[in-house]
Structure 1
Amino acid sequence: MRMRRRTLLLALPLSAPLAGCGAVSRAGKSSDDNASAGGGSSFEVTDVLGRTVGFDSQPEKVVLGESRHIYSLLFLNKDNPIDKVVAWGKDLQKAAPDFYDMLVGAFPAAKDIPEIGSVSNGDLSVETLEAYQPDVVVLTLDIYNAGQQAGFIDNLDNQGLRYVVTDFRRDPVNNTETSVKLLGDTMDRRDDAQAFLDFYHEQVDPVVGRASSADPRPTTFLWRAPGLNDPCSTYAKANLGAVITATGGTNIADSLLSGEEGVLTVEQIIESAPQNIIATGGEWGAQKLKDTAKTSYVHLGYEADEDSAKASLAQLKDQPGLEQVEAFDEGRVFGVYHQFYDAPFNFIAYLAFAKWQNPDLFSDLDPEGVWDDFHDKYMPWESQGVFITGI
């Protein structure tokens, strides 16, 4: 469906951040050495690990462990989202080139931001970060977990580099609000963070509330990045898999996988007979397809049009065996922009999943209109392209 103008303000009570990890503050200092937010120029933030991190003043030099943190900075500082960013990862450029092109088109200086390596690839050192003299390094939960195993986090602590941890990917249901607040505090954009969260709640809360009464709860197979991953890769109780459940559906992977993510067999999918298939897609023409994949990717994003999006969704039936799944014949196959899995924009996934899984219960929802409205209010460019579709 083409993005169209229409206002619909709907909004999940997001749970408190994960407990655990004791309070920490500036290197070597307890949190008692710093005043709380609002007391003078010093302040504290709490990240998704429950860590308390103190600052003597607002950070002026920020390193983003992933460049996809820009998703939040765009609505936090619509006029200059790259303000204070002295270096960042290079994931956005590969994972969402359409988004990167929109960013560089609006803010040409973004292409000159120095790129750093990644912990998971083993090409990021603490010495590299120190060269930028950052006031804070923003890490994702995935980077933090990989860094713990690699000794990278210990090195950060030993060198006294201040860092905070966000998460939009592993547990978006519980960590989206905490992550947005954290970034708003860190970037000194608290009012903008709250304005977005008000909008977010207006969209998500009514959906989750209504979905709790859904009966029956239709079954759904979430197909993670077909073409780029092994066939039938999926999420169980994490990531967008959790959104399937929150919006009134039954994620078939929940009973088939022991972990948060994995690969289902075609036989498992056929036996589960999902009533809906939701596949994630993007602007991935430059990426190499997985050798084991029998399909291409689903074309979605700022550069997609309705014809290319629907055609790319229809070819998923070419995966041997999936032609037996009735969802293809019943018009119950859908596509959603993959980057919603790692961004505060996941509110569109809530709206779309709810409407797809329970069309009668959520006939009033207009996720495309909300996406347009969000661009009008919070983004530095106009809405274009196709981010959700169905056949």
Structure 2
Amino acid sequence: MKLSRLLLVPAVAALAAFSLPAFAQAFTVTDVAGRQVSFDHPVQRAILGEGRMLYSLAAIETENPFAHVVGWRNDLWTTDQKSFDAYVAKFPEAANLPFLGNLTDGTLQTETVVDLHPDVMILPIGNKVAADEIKLEDTLSGIGVKIVYVDFREHILANTVPSLHILGQLFGKEKRADEVAAFWQSKMDAIAKVIADSKPRRPNVFMYRAAGLVECCGTFGPDNFGLMVELAGGHNLGSDFLPGYTGSINPEQVIASNPDVIVVTGSDWTNSPDAKGFVSVGPGTADSAKASREVLASLVQAPAFTGSTAVANGNVHAIWHQFYTSPYQFVAIQEMAKWFHPELFADIDPDATFKEFYDKFLPIPYEPGSWLSLKDGE
């Protein structure tokens, strides 16, 4: 009896030691759609419903952002080839991950999702309407696959920090997510304080969205880049006409608005169908700045812009489009603040800020090239 008791005690202790951590790993996330989604353990197999979620995930799962990714949409490759190439060079296994279609254009095949046996499919909030229409949640829940929504695009102030925390919970990296979110918040607050204290005159700014990829005159409403303009101390003209975060206005309206500043968004859209005449800016594109500046000059020769105060004064710039779907918005806000109010922000160095973020949080080295001005050297 004594011997059996001696054997039983360590056995029970071992079972408790095994069971408690396993039980403690269960968690529930509240996604940006307000849905509570429960998991028994940190995610082991994930599908990225947008490839550019890598910008955020890499800051959370820095050691290897692909460690738990089993499939992703191909939009990083089509919209930012430089970053795609940099990540694949660092993590060659990423080249073998299957590309999935886009839920919003009907090219996503649920059979492919099922075959990959994911624990979770992480979707941008902009996909929710399409997901609800095809009852994707019901389909996937039947095979044990959860859907979680994040957002780094539609409501950047409300959803960026919660989305970082959601990723931290999913992959068991809550502390890391806290650090990234704190960095983001500190940089956002610093610019906001200068603008609030100084109350500068706000220049009228026209954001030319994805020039060369979409027709003139695509722009932004009161969120996303439109909100970034406001946070940088400008007045976003698109907000006067668009209720949502993105849309188009006609060239005549741009002429009538007579912007003081024009900011074109660009990226490495080499792999995007029908893309031409775009300004290639983004990490790793600094070597092509001269050619990109020439493209920028040709874009603002369009009738919508000729004769504007912005063109007359050479106050024309290009900035990396992908700031609009990443947790790096504070960098874009810093650079635009320098364009809008150079005296107020003379001591701010957005390039150094971006490099600091890369050095602290990302697994690939920083490369400059994320913006340029029509006036050489600005």
Smaller-chain TM-score range?
0.7 to 0.9
1:271 alignment partner in structure 2: 256
Partner amino acid, structure 2, of 1:46: T
Q: Given that residues 137 and 146 in structure 2 are in contact (C-alpha distance below 8 angstroms), is that contact kept between their aligned partners in structure 1?
A: no
For the residue of structure 1 that corresponds to 2:306, the secondary structure is helix
Q: Given that residues 119 and 152 in structure 1 are in contact (C-alpha distance below 8 angstroms), is that contact kept between their aligned partners in structure 2?
A: no
Q: How does 1:117-128 map to 2 (within 5 A)?
A: 117-128=101-112
CA distance in 2, matches of 1:289, 1:324: 29
Residue 285 to residue 42, structure 1, CA distance change in 2 (3 Å): closer
1:300 matched to 2:281? The reply is yes
Residue 321 to residue 61, structure 1, CA distance change in 2 (3 Å): closer
CA distance in 2, matches of 1:72, 1:321: 35
Choose the corresponding residue for 1:82, options 59, 62, 66.
Answer: 66
Q: Given that residues 300 and 385 in structure 1 are in contact (C-alpha distance below 8 angstroms), is that contact kept between their aligned partners in structure 2?
A: no
1:179 alignment partner in structure 2: 163
Range with bigger deviation, 348-357 or 93-102: 348-357
Residues 99-126 of structure 1, C-alpha deviation per residue, up to 9 Å, x if partnerless? 1001111111100012222212212233
Residue 40 to residue 287, structure 1, CA distance change in 2 (3 Å): closer
CA distance in 1, matches of 2:344, 2:140: 49
Range with bigger deviation, 364-373 or 210-219: 210-219
Q: Given that residues 212 and 248 in structure 1 are in contact (C-alpha distance below 8 angstroms), is that contact kept between their aligned partners in structure 2?
A: no
Q: Given that residues 298 and 312 in structure 1 are in contact (C-alpha distance below 8 angstroms), is that contact kept between their aligned partners in structure 2?
A: yes
1:373 alignment partner in structure 2: 356
The structure that is helix-richer by fraction is 2
2:177 alignment partner in structure 1: 193
Residues 143-167 of structure 1, C-alpha deviation per residue, up to 9 Å, x if partnerless? 2222223433443355552111000
Q: How does 1:182-331 map to 2 (within 5 A)?
A: 182-213=166-197, 214-289=199-274, 296-301=277-282, 302-305=284-287, 306-331=289-314
Q: Given that residues 100 and 109 in structure 2 are in contact (C-alpha distance below 8 angstroms), is that contact kept between their aligned partners in structure 1?
A: no
Q: Given that residues 41 and 56 in structure 1 are in contact (C-alpha distance below 8 angstroms), is that contact kept between their aligned partners in structure 2?
A: yes
Q: Given that residues 211 and 354 in structure 1 are in contact (C-alpha distance below 8 angstroms), is that contact kept between their aligned partners in structure 2?
A: no
For the residue of structure 1 that corresponds to 2:121, the secondary structure is strand
1:164 alignment partner in structure 2: 148
1:53 alignment partner in structure 2: 37
TM-score, normalised relative to structure 2: 0.87
Residues 58-85 of structure 1, C-alpha deviation per residue, up to 9 Å, x if partnerless? 1111111111111112121222110111
1:341 alignment partner in structure 2: 324
How far does residue 48 in structure 1 lie from its aligned partner after superposition? 0.8
Q: Given that residues 208 and 265 in structure 2 are in contact (C-alpha distance below 8 angstroms), is that contact kept between their aligned partners in structure 1?
A: yes
For the residue of structure 2 that corresponds to 1:344, the secondary structure is coil
Range with bigger deviation, 177-186 or 247-256: 247-256
CA distance in 2, matches of 1:82, 1:390: 35
How far does residue 289 in structure 1 lie from its aligned partner after superposition? 4.2
For the residue of structure 2 that corresponds to 1:324, the secondary structure is coil
Partner amino acid, structure 2, of 1:99: S
1:105 alignment partner in structure 2: 89
2:345 alignment partner in structure 1: 362
Q: Which runs of 5+ in 1 are unaligned?
A: 1-36
For the residue of structure 1 that corresponds to 2:181, the secondary structure is helix
Q: Given that residues 222 and 279 in structure 1 are in contact (C-alpha distance below 8 angstroms), is that contact kept between their aligned partners in structure 2?
A: yes
Q: Given that residues 337 and 345 in structure 2 are in contact (C-alpha distance below 8 angstroms), is that contact kept between their aligned partners in structure 1?
A: yes
Q: Given that residues 79 and 271 in structure 2 are in contact (C-alpha distance below 8 angstroms), is that contact kept between their aligned partners in structure 1?
A: no
Residues 1-40 of structure 1, C-alpha deviation per residue, up to 9 Å, x if partnerless? xxxxxxxxxxxxxxxxxxxxxxxxxxxxxxxxxxxx9981
1:136 alignment partner in structure 2: 120
| Percent identity over paired residues | 32
Q: Given that residues 45 and 69 in structure 2 are in contact (C-alpha distance below 8 angstroms), is that contact kept between their aligned partners in structure 1?
A: yes
Partner amino acid, structure 1, of 2:270: G
2:3 alignment partner in structure 1: none
1:148 matched to 2:129? The reply is no
Residue 287 to residue 53, structure 1, CA distance change in 2 (3 Å): closer
Q: Given that residues 218 and 358 in structure 1 are in contact (C-alpha distance below 8 angstroms), is that contact kept between their aligned partners in structure 2?
A: no
For the residue of structure 2 that corresponds to 1:222, the secondary structure is strand
Residue 178 to residue 258, structure 1, CA distance change in 2 (3 Å): closer
Q: Which has the higher contact order (CA 8 A, sep 6+)?
A: 1
Residues 85-104 of structure 1, C-alpha deviation per residue, up to 9 Å, x if partnerless? 11111111101111100111
Partner amino acid, structure 2, of 1:263: S
